[in-house]
A and B are shown apart, each in its own frame.
Chain A
Amino acid sequence: MAKILIAEDERDIRDLIEFTLKYAGHEVYKAGNGAEAVELAPGVQPDLIMMDVRMPKMTGYEACRRLKEMDETRHIPVVFLSAKGQDVEMQTGMEAGAVEYILKPFAPDELTRRVAEILRQLGIG
């Protein structure tokens, strides 16, 4: 099982993701925005970071770019969470260094399945 950092500003969604991943067996850390994620990641050293795109203080893109600039975090794969239909955002996110997109809204069991797939592809867990 993996260590996963979630960056999501909407509390209800953040809590649901945390709950879902936690009871799928993962160790979960939470950040309320991109800046918090950038601050937490070097210390936590998560196996995976899941990040919303639109967040206050620092967007997911900006946070991803900064993570990829730092030696201690550039190896950590980032997955973006984004609303359906925002194709431009998806492209921007991939350019910022993300490995995958998960579209919102998602069912909890779908999230668990996608995360398991991503971890397997990355050879984690």
Chain B
Amino acid sequence: MSAITIENDLVHYEVLGRGRPVILVHGWLSSWRYWITTMQQLSMKYRTYALDLWGYGDSSKDTQRLGLDAQVKLVDDFIEKLGIGKKVAMVGHALGAAVAIRYALQKPERVARLMTISAPLFEHQGGSAPAPARPTPAEAAAPTILKRPEAGDASTAPGDSAKPAQDAAEAPETTVTRSLWSHDSPTILRRPPLDIPLTGRPSPAPEVRLPSAAALPSVPAPDARPNPLLERLTNVEPRQLLEKHLPKDTPDFDKLMTEVSKTSARALSVSAASFDGVDLAEDVRRLISPTLLVHGEKDAFMPPPSENLINYLSYGKDNFRCVVWPEVNHFPMLSEPAAFQRLVMDFLEIADVDELELKERWVRKVR
């Protein structure tokens, strides 16, 4: 066990391997422990660090530092204090995903790339259109024609009809992409390409610009938005939550239950409340680090973002991918460890996240 003191309190972490640094940040329902197999796999090429956030695992349980901002500061202090001088790759899960996104926004110069798993990304309530109806398997097999967001288009930009039509005209009218929901293989969700055929990339690549405000779904003021985390995390025992979302046949189930018992219900409540006014989706939009979002299709704790929101997040962004992984729950690193580790490795090694493709060996494993 390794530990350092930050702000006069103990922070537990583990480190393994040599090479470029990778920081692993856990979520609400455990501690650093569920990164063990990922660390083992990455350790021959990377120096992996996994820390316990404030209030979790064996780090201090100081109730003054359980909010999102304090956790982001912890990660920042941790990186500085350990003298991790190079750019780091961040891999964050659930709460850790939010922390990693916020850190990457604050310190873009320090983040070489960012991978999030089960990030708490929610559609803006009351301000944007409902997600398109999910297709049936038969529909999913066919390519989906998606409309590029347009001003006044109820499917993508409600409430923006008063915005100048000129801005909306800058966006092409329609695009074609692969089916967004595949029922038999993991799906990499691309940003809607500009007149790109079903396969391959255009050559030469068209200039991609961020859509104007009028072309994107409208965003209510932060204070007006409900906080979907409150209902999930307030007044609930972490142990009960983990029991509900982690299958009992998961390796080291008992050890993970022991770890989650170190976290208090209050820690989750305070953490959830700290997301009031936080719009993580907007934060993702503003990221400049290469980013991969991974969501389990069967994640009942942090369900994957809607198709509408994914389009919003990915629109016009380069070096960005979103994977919705069929049949996978909240913990792909535990339920599909080999495939998850390969995905992390591929993500860390590929030059451009845009080029990340599902390798056949990976697809076979996750089917």
Give chain B's interface residues, CB within 8 Å of chain A: 14, 16-18, 33, 36-37, 39-40, 43-44, 251
Most B Cβ at <10 Å: residue of A12, A15, A19? A19
Classify chain A's interface size.
Answer: under 10
Contact yes or no, A15 B16, CB < 8 A: yes
Most A Cβ at <10 Å: residue of B14, B16, B18, B251? B16
Could you say which of B14, B18, B33, B36 contacts A12, with CB atoms under 8 Å apart? B18
New contact pairs (8) apart from A15-B43, A19-B43, CB-CB < 8 Å: A12-B17, A15-B16, A15-B17, A16-B43, A16-B44, A23-B33, A108-B40, A109-B251
Residues of B within 8 A of A20 (CB): 40
How many angstroms between the C-alpha atoms of A109 and B341 in the bound complex?
A: 14
Contact yes or no, A19 B16, CB < 8 A: yes
Beta-carbon contacts under 8 Å, A53-78 to B: none
Q: Shortest 5 CB-CB distances between A and B: which pairs?
A: A108-B40, A19-B16, A23-B36, A16-B43, A15-B16
Question: Which residue in chain A gives the minimum CB-CB distance to B40?
Answer: A108
How many angstroms between the C-alpha atoms of A35 and B44 in the bound complex?
A: 26
Residues of B within 8 A of A19 (CB): 14, 16, 36, 39-40, 43
Residues of B within 8 A of A108 (CB): 37, 40
Give chain A's interface residues, CB within 8 Å of chain B: 12, 15-16, 19-20, 23, 108-109
How many angstroms between the C-alpha atoms of A15 and B16 in the bound complex?
A: 7
Residues of B within 8 A of A109 (CB): 37, 251
How many residue pairs bridge A and B at CB < 8 Å?
A: 25
Residues of A within 8 A of B44 (CB): 12, 16
Q: Shortest CB–CB separation between residue A105 and chain B, in angstroms?
A: 10
How many angstroms between the C-alpha atoms of A20 and B39 in the bound complex?
A: 10
Q: List 25 A-B contacts (CB under 8 A).
A: A12-B17, A12-B18, A12-B43, A12-B44, A15-B16, A15-B17, A15-B43, A16-B16, A16-B17, A16-B40, A16-B43, A16-B44, A19-B14, A19-B16, A19-B36, A19-B39, A19-B40, A19-B43, A20-B40, A23-B33, A23-B36, A108-B37, A108-B40, A109-B37, A109-B251
How many angstroms between the C-alpha atoms of A87 and B14 in the bound complex?
A: 37
Residues of A within 8 A of B16 (CB): 15-16, 19
How many angstroms between the C-alpha atoms of A15 and B36 in the bound complex?
A: 13
Question: Which residue in chain A gives the minimum CB-CB distance to B19?
Answer: A12
Residues of B within 8 A of A15 (CB): 16-17, 43
Q: Shortest CB–CB separation between residue B250 and chain A, in angstroms?
A: 13
How many angstroms between the C-alpha atoms of A30 and B14 in the bound complex?
A: 17
How many angstroms between the C-alpha atoms of A20 and B40 in the bound complex?
A: 8
